[in-house]
Structure formats: C-alpha cells, structure tokens
Amino acid sequence: MNAYTDNTTGTPIFRALRESICTLEKPFGTVLSEVELAAEFGVSRTPIRQALHQLAAVGLVETRNGVGTIVTAGDPETVGDIYRLRIQLTALIGQLATKECPGTAAENMRALHTEVLELEPKLSPQDFWELNEKRHKIVTAIIENHELRALHHLYYFKVSPFWFRLFLDNPEQEFARLVREIQETAFWMEQGNMLTVANMQQNHIAMAANRLNVRQ
C-alpha cells in the first residue's frame, strides 16, 4: 500500500498535519493552502495533496468549492455526537474481548505512569500531546476486534481538538487528570479484567465530556 493512503499510520506529512489540527495549531475553520504547505514542508504540491486527501478520508478536513481544503475537526456542533459515540465504542472494548488484558499492556501503562510522575506539572502542550499519544497506543493495542480498533483510533483524533482545548485552558488541572487516568488504567490493566478496563476508560471520557458541557 502507498504510504500516503495508509489511513492507520500515514506519511510524516500526514501525521504532522494531523497533529497540528488536533493540537489547534490549525484549528477548526482554517483553510489549508497547498502552496503554503508545500513551502512549509519543502516538498512539491503532490505529497501535500495526497496528505490532504488522507486527512479528508479520516474526517479531519474537507474540500469545499470556492474555498479549498478547510479544517472541520473541532467543529463545536459535532462535539456531542462524537463524545457520545466514543463512549459507546469504548464500552465495546470490554464487551468484545475474549481474553484478559495482556500483562505487557499493564507493564507499559505502569511505566508511563512512572514517566509522568517525573514531569513538572507545568509541561508544554507538545509534552501533553505526546503523553496522550503513548497512552492511546497502549490502549489501542489491547483491542482484539480489528474493526473496533480502527474506529477507536479514528475517533481518538476526531475528539482530540476538544480535549486539547481543555488542556490549553487549564493545563495543570488537565495534566493532573491525565496522571490519575494513567494510574487507574495501569491498576485495572494489572487486574486483567477487560470489562473493568473499558469501564474506567468510559468514565474518563464521560468526565471530559462533562467538562465540555456535553449532554449525555
């Protein structure tokens, strides 16, 4: 498969643009110019166009006649639908599991907890993003159902602009909540019960939705 059309990993340009959208460097409503992006990345317009097509395929941008490619992720009109769906998808992680949570996942999450305890509360937005990425990858790896894993991965990025705004507005509190979530996830992963792991994840997603005033 061509790297530019791989919706799971993607090319460095795709991943960089996805991150800039999710971390609000390029927020909802931003028009993405192929010419400007080509200059920014030092490439021709062809790989930029391919990356934009992939971003459109995963629902982060769309092309509009007379406007161009515009960032649609982070649309406040969609926050309720996205969070409600994400909560239900997370429940399926436990319901569709046929095995206990792998010990390696618990070890990785515990190691991540140790890592975050060593960080200063006033960490940078980039650090916060990278920690969430590590947590997301550990959780995604324990999802047995391949279709559910793909959806879980997709909606992680679709919801990211919303919870990242929470961090920008109140970084120390959101960092403390992330530390607590990682600690609790590690504990329940160590118990092995996937239903409990999924339920705990649901609770943290629901709490973020509440902070965003999403009606559930």
- Sorted by where each begins, the domain ranges of the chain are 3-71, 79-211
| Residue owning tokens 């926050």 | 79
Q: Indicate the CATH number for domain 79-211.
A: 1.20.120.530
Q: How are strands ordered across the β-sheet holding 61-64? A: 31-32, 68-71, 61-64
In the chain, DSSP assigns E strands to: 31-32, 61-64, 68-71
How deeply is 37 buried, as exposed, middle or buried, from its count of CB atoms within 10 A (0-12, 13-18, 19+)? buried
Q: What is the mean pLDDT of residues 58-63?
A: 96
Domain covering 3-71 assigned CATH 1.10.10.10 in the classification: yes
pLDDT at residue number 174? 95
Pick from 119, 161, 111: nearest CA to 137: 111
Q: Are 53 and 91 in contact (CB under 8 A)?
A: no
Identify the pLDDT of residue 216.
Answer: 54
Beta-bridge partners for 69: 32, 63
SS3 content of the chain, % helix, strand, coil (to 5): 70, 5, 25
Name the β-bridge partners of 50: none
Residue 43: predicted pLDDT? 96
Q: Is the pTM of this model over 0.85?
A: yes
